[in-house]
Structure 1
Amino acid sequence: MSNELFWVLGLLLTAVTLFILNKPRMDVVALLVIIGLPLTGVLSIEQTLAGFSDPSVVLIAALFVIGDGLVRTGIAYRLGDWLVARAGNSETRLLILLMLTAAGLGSVMSSTGVVAIFIPVVLGVSARLRIAPARLMMPLAFAGLISGMLTLVATPPNLVIHAELRGAGLEGFGFFSFTPIGLAILALGIAYMLLTRNWLAGSHSNSSGPERLTLSDLAHAYRLNERERRLKVRVDSPLANQTLNELELRQQYGINVIAVERQRKFRTLLLMATGNTLLEPGDVLLVDLASPTIGLLDAYHSLGLEPMNLAHSYFSLHAHQLGLAEIALPPESQLPGKSIFELGFRSKYKLNVVGLRRHGEALQGVLVDEKLKPSDTLLVAGNWRDIHRLQGLSRDFLVLSLPAEVDEVAPAARKAPYALLSLAVMVTLMLSGLLPNVMAALIGCLLMGAFRCIDLDSAYRAIHWPTLILIVGMLPFAQALQQTGGVDLAVHGLVQLLGEAGPRGILACLFAVTAVIGLFISNTATAVLMAPVAIATAQALNASPYPFAMTVALAASAAFMTPISSPVNTLVLGPGQYRFGDFVRVGVPFTLLVMLVTVLLVPWIFPL
């Protein structure tokens, strides 16, 4: 072993140890590596910093932007809404749809982001179906990890290994090269979770859920859920073609219109109600009644209104647009002594007062003439944008509670079709091969920006810079190990040890080593380290490098064994109320099954 190899291995061992200890942060360790490698004399500064211009690094940054565009336009959240609607009351159907949806969405955007999006959805569905969140959270995490096995752009390790193949003068993987194996593993994962979900049924905590209030919590506190109704304006209704100010429904009938669902050719528009809102035949009114027991059947008939089914709160159905907020009157407020009608909330702030609590008790009946007292709290409903604007009026109002759903607001929801178009253009260009993948992704980003699906500030915030720095810092290790003979040493030892076991035995060993290393360091860093070993091993055996590279890529995503082996697992640890041993008990057998499928399928799809 040369002195140069000794120093490179020492630096590598130090970096891995710091990764395991997580002190300092992984991106800081990567920066220390960038400083340390030139000091070994193996690489020049230019070679060490070459990762900043690597196409794969730029591609990963662009994909972060594309993923954030899908979130900002509400596409990701709409998938969650669709999941809730389709699953009904069936836990089995819910689990299958959850894993399929999370894996599908994760194939084109960050799996960590996908899991973060679906956690509140799963918690809400679990509460409604009265099932333990633990039965769904781990399937969600596993689907997020499996999504990395579905497409080339699904996870950074795939792109790292693709770049390593190209760097060796070989043709890289195609966009769907991973898909056949990934689909098989996804089907295996769904079947496995259906069989093992009972292992996760027990709760290890008496926690009742997230600490933040939800829309449901606020509605319950003000007894709003007892008064919600959906009323359709019939064609012959006398309300048609009149404004709400003209109709005075609240004063005469105790019907407070919150919003209006209006059908258009391909979608349903949600319009926030103001005094100038003009009602049209076929509109569905989302209303708050003055009292849940008010007798309105005759009024409905005379007004030409048809009661509609309301299986769930319309606030939960329209949570990405229609919000609730609890506000109080600060000491310097000039509003105590005035009635809600005198406040003119609807005309001044585009918000409706839908509840009032005094001394902790929700008042019922017609509230518009109620005089406010300093200790009162109000519940207002309307567009999230208008609710946020209310936060700036601190002299007269103090926003006490914003529900957890505010995090799911899609600020560019109207641009969803353009986001889908941008995504389709990017994928089409990648599949056609007309342009390199990085160019296709950059074009997708520019289209997202041109259509205002995302702005520049949001785009820069969307990029997860620690991940990019980690990749840039670890990429030079592959070149350093090759130049000092470290890769040849590892390959020689692997072939000597398992040469008689044949190529499939070596594939199994590569998978196991990659998966075990991935327990301690990030899957991206693992792929950087193992990719050159896989390719060199194939060359030593005079075999095709593709099955070896694919095996390492799949193993890098197989982080099922512990809650700390992937950020995806860590995200569901709290909401699922899991212990460390839960992941070991469920994840280790599944990892072995994935290894078996990989060893069987990869040489068949990519001949040795």
Structure 2
Amino acid sequence: MSIADSSLVFLLLGATLVAFVWGRFRYDLVALAALLASVMLGLVPAEQAFMGFGHPAVVTVAAVLVLSRGFERSGVVDAIADQVLKVGDRLFLQLAALTGTVVVLSGFMNNVGALALLLPVAMRLAREHDTSPSLLLMPLAFGSLLGGLTTLIGTPPNIIIASYRSSVTGESFGLFSFSPVGVVVALAGLAFILLLGWRLVPQRAGKASTEEMFDTSNYLVEARVDENSKALGWTLRELQRELEDTIPVLAVVRDDHRQAGHAFLGTLREGDILLLEAGPEEMKQLEDKTGLVVGIDPEESSEEDEEPSAEGDAKQSKTDKKPRATGVDTEGLELVEAVVRNDSMMINRTVTQLRLQNQFGLHLVAVARDGSRLKQRLHKIRFRPGDVLLMQGGESELSESLTTLGCLPLANRNLSIGQPRMLMISLAIFALAILAILFELLPAAVALTSAALVSLLVGVLSLRDGYQAIDGPVIVLLAAMLPVGNALETSGGAAMIAEGLLNLGKQWPVIVTLVTLFVITMLLSNIINNAAAAVLMAPIAASLAEGFEASLDPFLMVVAVSASCAFLTPIGHQSNTLVLGPGGYRFGDYWKLGLPISLLVLAVGMPMILWVWPL
């Protein structure tokens, strides 16, 4: 291609990076737009535009996601988590158990999946032992990134780099080719976190429970339907339509019998008591628009009669007017905390746009951001990644609805060992796939996809669960960015960047250029998806290796390790974003622990790379 094509590639990639950093549009949409733009500009042939969807790296990532969900469904991870919960109240042991476990799990399953499975366990540990979850969650997230370095299937950048090597040399990296470097780096990082690093994590007090984070009891009010109420004879849907707001009705009390709001399908009668989540403005609306008589706030009721509910998610109280319980407890109400994932369909949308109640059967009760409850009107809140939501819904629908919405439940989870038969089958299927890869009987993509298929056929997980396990946005991101990354190489853009680095480093040892490559890739991975960083930097690394007439492998390994070093910001990796809300962190909290770990990975990883993969 011509210099003009190289310039177009740089302009397109610059615009793509700006869009990634801006965050207004989800990263998969940005990547897809970049792909289509590259086709229209003639940088990618139209017939090759969608070949990325069949690329071995993309197929491998999808298969690993399905297998990870199979581990969850069969009880493999629950059996491990059940042991983690027994560590006691010493912070060091809690950190060692949680972070050590996620490091190991992340080597053999998707690291985001490993974190998602242990996040509820960490929250439960924090609540049971009165530990600030902020001390546990950032180490847990960073541990998942470190664990992903240890094997081919631990993180998408490793899969991408192995696939790129195959396209250049005809031979891919093996399953454990990353282990000599990855294991040493992961152990060094784990030791640093346990001995010193946890002290650099900000301690946010009082965020371990729903009651403390959301302070729900301060917003619970009773509203009574009397003979003059406009709402007499209305359904709850008609009530909310009249209010033009999402004021959650948590329960309806009729004749001393309480029914959860999501399950109440009848019309309101005189004497009904509604238990609502409402602030001062909403209370005025209730009286003005519906004629409901706002009663005594449970927080202000007689302190002598007030007692905590069984699960502590809200407070139960009795009024002086009637001899009946009107407060909230979780029985029948199914209040659940959930964190909004990076790929959630809720991002930048409101409750009204999502039609949470009508389409998903969920009431939004409260939203917490940066560890504090948002005080603005619920229907005006546009959700962001990392927001923690308090929602109410039917027990049978909650799990499926949260999965569809792209939320990770944080509520206490009853761990079970699962079916022993399926547990063993799941492990056996995975072990056979690993052996097939190790003995080079099958390529990784074929072996892991076969294992995923067998898991579905034998019932380790349902077909529906298998499809839900595939992270669509990540798949689209990879499939779209691979041709764009290839355009960077074929246009000569990668060679131009490499030539610039070569000219700067003529008087320096090669290791200085390798360190520069490491730092550039690491910084890039902290502002865009780490898989995208690997896609873009791999051809530059190959051009540098060619320019220095050195081995390709150490340059590719530098990209693989540094692309997974997204420790500086909450937006660089999904693991970091997932703990943002539950941990009560702020954007600037991450670099305090992340920078020392990044420097440690550089200091430990670079000598190991040059020792295992000499120039």
Q: Is this a same-fold pair by TM over 0.5?
A: yes
**CA 1:523–1:498 in 2, change beyond 3 Å: closer, same or farther?**
same
Contact 1:327–1:379 (8 Å) recurs in 2: no
Match of 1:388 in 2: none
- Distance across 1 between alignment mates of 2:56 and 2:196: 42
Q: How many residues align?
A: 450
* 1:108 CA drift (Å): 1.7
- Distance across 1 between alignment mates of 2:395 and 2:74: 27
* 1:518 CA drift (Å): 1.0
Contact 2:207–2:583 (8 Å) recurs in 1: no
Match of 1:96 in 2: 96
Match of 1:76 in 2: 77
Of 554-563 and 49-58, more deviation after overlay is shown by 49-58
* 1:159 CA drift (Å): 0.9
- Distance across 2 between alignment mates of 1:377 and 1:590: 44
SS at match of 1:500: coil
Of 32-41 and 439-448, more deviation after overlay is shown by 32-41
Match of 2:28 in 1: 27
- Distance across 2 between alignment mates of 1:94 and 1:363: 27
Pick from 391, 416, 424: which aligns with 2:423? 416
Of 404-413 and 581-590, more deviation after overlay is shown by 404-413
Contact 1:209–1:575 (8 Å) recurs in 2: no
* 1:573 CA drift (Å): 1.7
1:571-607 Cα offsets, whole Å, 9 max, x none, are 1122222222221111112101111112111010111
Match of 1:191 in 2: 191
Pick from 478, 486, 489: which aligns with 1:471? 478
Contact 1:123–1:133 (8 Å) recurs in 2: yes
**CA 1:153–1:378 in 2, change beyond 3 Å: closer, same or farther?**
closer
**CA 1:327–1:452 in 2, change beyond 3 Å: closer, same or farther?**
farther
- Distance across 2 between alignment mates of 1:63 and 1:42: 31
The CA RMSD measured in Å over matched residues stands at: 3.3
* 1:73 CA drift (Å): 1.6
SS at match of 1:499: coil
1:303-355 Cα offsets, whole Å, 9 max, x none, are xxxxxxxxxxxxxxxxxxxxxxx97696979xxxxxxxxxxxxxxxxxxxxxx
**CA 1:28–1:400 in 2, change beyond 3 Å: closer, same or farther?**
closer
Give ranges in structure 2 of 5+ residues lacking alignment.
Answer: 217-257, 268-304, 311-322, 333-360, 362-392, 399-408
* 1:361 CA drift (Å): 7.0
Of 67-76 and 524-533, more deviation after overlay is shown by 67-76
Contact 1:327–1:377 (8 Å) recurs in 2: no
Q: Which amino acid aligns with 1:187?
A: L
Structure 2 residue 25 is the aligned partner of structure 1 residue 18:
no
Q: Which amino acid aligns with 1:104?
A: V
* 1:374 CA drift (Å): 10
Structure 2 residue 174 is the aligned partner of structure 1 residue 174:
yes
- Distance across 2 between alignment mates of 1:526 and 1:439: 25
- Distance across 2 between alignment mates of 1:14 and 1:330: 50
* 1:438 CA drift (Å): 0.9
- Distance across 1 between alignment mates of 2:212 and 2:587: 25
Equivalences for residues 541-556 of structure 1 within 5 A:
541-556=548-563
Of 122-131 and 457-466, more deviation after overlay is shown by 122-131
**CA 1:360–1:107 in 2, change beyond 3 Å: closer, same or farther?**
same
Q: Which amino acid aligns with 2:611?
A: W
**CA 1:198–1:45 in 2, change beyond 3 Å: closer, same or farther?**
same
**CA 1:362–1:475 in 2, change beyond 3 Å: closer, same or farther?**
closer
**CA 1:331–1:451 in 2, change beyond 3 Å: closer, same or farther?**
closer
Contact 1:80–1:121 (8 Å) recurs in 2: yes
- Distance across 2 between alignment mates of 1:513 and 1:361: 56
- Distance across 2 between alignment mates of 1:423 and 1:400: 32
SS at match of 1:561: coil
Match of 1:58 in 2: 59
- Distance across 1 between alignment mates of 2:22 and 2:419: 41
* 1:142 CA drift (Å): 0.9
**CA 1:6–1:378 in 2, change beyond 3 Å: closer, same or farther?**
closer
Q: Which amino acid aligns with 2:555?
A: F
Structure 2 residue 42 is the aligned partner of structure 1 residue 41:
yes
Contact 1:474–1:525 (8 Å) recurs in 2: yes
Compare CA radii of gyration and give the structure with the larger one: 1
**CA 1:211–1:116 in 2, change beyond 3 Å: closer, same or farther?**
farther
Q: Which amino acid aligns with 1:37?
A: S
Q: Which amino acid aligns with 1:544?
A: S
Pick from 455, 475, 481: which aligns with 2:462? 455
Contact 2:554–2:613 (8 Å) recurs in 1: yes
Match of 2:224 in 1: none
Contact 1:518–1:526 (8 Å) recurs in 2: yes
SS at match of 2:113: helix
Match of 1:514 in 2: 521
- Distance across 1 between alignment mates of 2:102 and 2:596: 22
Pick from 579, 589, 602: which aligns with 1:595? 602
- Distance across 2 between alignment mates of 1:482 and 1:574: 39
- Distance across 1 between alignment mates of 2:4 and 2:565: 35
Match of 1:307 in 2: none
Give ranges in structure 1 of 5+ residues lacking alignment.
Answer: 218-325, 334-358, 365-371, 382-391, 393-397
**CA 1:64–1:211 in 2, change beyond 3 Å: closer, same or farther?**
farther
1:135-162 Cα offsets, whole Å, 9 max, x none, are 2111101111111201001111111111
Match of 1:368 in 2: none
* 1:90 CA drift (Å): 3.0
* 1:77 CA drift (Å): 2.2
Equivalences for residues 89-168 of structure 1 within 5 A:
89-168=89-168
Contact 1:108–1:154 (8 Å) recurs in 2: yes
Match of 2:371 in 1: none
* 1:377 CA drift (Å): 9.4
Structure 2 residue 9 is the aligned partner of structure 1 residue 8:
yes
Q: Which amino acid aligns with 2:50?
A: L
**CA 1:211–1:409 in 2, change beyond 3 Å: closer, same or farther?**
farther
Match of 1:245 in 2: none
- Distance across 1 between alignment mates of 2:259 and 2:110: 36
**CA 1:587–1:373 in 2, change beyond 3 Å: closer, same or farther?**
closer
Of 406-415 and 564-573, more deviation after overlay is shown by 406-415
Q: Which amino acid aligns with 1:427?
A: I
**CA 1:449–1:528 in 2, change beyond 3 Å: closer, same or farther?**
same
- Distance across 1 between alignment mates of 2:308 and 2:526: 52
Pick from 502, 509, 514: which aligns with 1:502? 509
Q: Which amino acid aligns with 1:89?
A: D
Match of 1:389 in 2: none
Q: Which amino acid aligns with 1:486?
A: G
* 1:551 CA drift (Å): 0.6
- Distance across 2 between alignment mates of 1:53 and 1:37: 19
Pick from 532, 536, 542: which aligns with 1:529? 536
